[in-house]
């Protein structure tokens, strides 16, 4: 049984990963923002599921989470919480405070959360950190628009690549993963794949990750993604 922490677990890809992990018999630490877990998570309540409040940009929330989990093993941390960014994010029409918020959530929070949970990860025999990134952040893709989102995901890829080197000696595997274009509130109805397909692929990839693959950018199908 793996102990898996999933951020932004109340809907979308995060919620589906929680469902599949529970089905497999893993122990899940699901984080949500707000005072109470959302009904989507409460309806899954069982002995293998714990709820933890976490606004990913709040240092105090991250500190409290780390204190609450002191001495507990985390085999797999999935930095999933993210936002698409502000309505206005064109090169010539940028909502700068929205861009900053996008960076705080998509780029900075995954680093701060991972760092806070290193003591828990090092208790595992195969500790892994997956950060849900996006192909929209890949430098090899030419595409216009969505500057706030694209830059936040390009930056989190770099953060995770550096982190993979920093944490190698401690045996912690770190990989950013593109989850596909997924039918969620963020991805919309026209997206290519369902949350089930995406979560299934990401968890199959997580199962086979080890320190040799650390610092690789993967797709949800388990293929290498160009940076």
Ligand X SMILES: NC(=O)c1ccc[n+]([C@@H]2O[C@H](COP(=O)([O-])OP(=O)(O)OC[C@H]3O[C@@H](n4cnc5c(N)ncnc54)[C@H](OP(=O)(O)O)[C@@H]3O)[C@@H](O)[C@H]2O)c1
Binding site for ligand X (CB under 6 A): 8, 10-14, 33, 54-57, 80-83, 105, 132, 134, 179, 181-182, 184-187, 191
12 or 201: CB nearest ligand X: 12
Separation of alpha carbons 181 and 27, rounded Å: 27
111 or 126: CB nearest ligand X: 111
- Residues 212, 154, 163, 183: is their CA dihedral positive or negative? negative
User: Which residue stretches of the chain are H helix?
Assistant: 12-24, 39-42, 59-68, 96-103, 109-116, 118-121, 147-166, 195-208
Q: How far is the CB of 171 from ligand X (least distance, A)?
A: 25
Separation of alpha carbons 56 and 201, rounded Å: 25
Q: How far is the CB of 74 from ligand X (least distance, A)?
A: 18
The owner of tokens 């190698």 is: 168
Q: How far is the CB of 114 from ligand X (least distance, A)?
A: 14
Q: DSSP for 61-74?
A: HHHHHHHHTTT---
146 or 186: CB nearest ligand X: 186
Q: How far is the CB of 169 from ligand X (least distance, A)?
A: 28
């Amino acid at each position: 049984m793996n102990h898996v922490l999933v951020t932004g677990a109340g809907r979308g890809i995060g919620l589906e990963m929680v469902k599949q992990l529970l089905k497999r018999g893993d122990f899940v630490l699901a984080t949500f923002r707000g005072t109470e877990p959302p009904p989507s998570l409460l309806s899954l309540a069982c002995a293998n599921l714990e709820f933890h409040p976490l606004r990913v940009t709040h240092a105090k929330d991250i500190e409290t989470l780390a204190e609450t989990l002191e001495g507990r093993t985390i085999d797999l941390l999935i930095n999933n919480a993210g936002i698409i960014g502000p309505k206005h994010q064109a090169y010539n029409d940028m909502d700068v405070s929205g861009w900053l918020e996008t960076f705080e959530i998509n780029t900075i929070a995954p680093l701060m959360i991972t760092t806070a949970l290193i003591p828990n990860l090092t208790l595992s025999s195969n500790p892994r950190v997956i950060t849900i990134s996006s192909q929209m952040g890949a430098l090899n893709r030419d595409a216009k628009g969505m500057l706030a989102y694209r830059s936040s995901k390009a930056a989190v890829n770099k953060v995770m690549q550096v982190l993979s080197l920093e944490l190698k000696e401690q045996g912690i595997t770190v990989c950013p993963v593109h989850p596909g274009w997924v039918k969620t509130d963020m991805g919309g109805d026209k997206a290519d794949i369902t949350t089930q397909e995406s979560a299934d692929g990401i968890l199959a990839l997580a199962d086979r990750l080890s320190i040799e693959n650390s610092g690789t950018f993967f797709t949800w199908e388990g293929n290498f993604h160009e940076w």
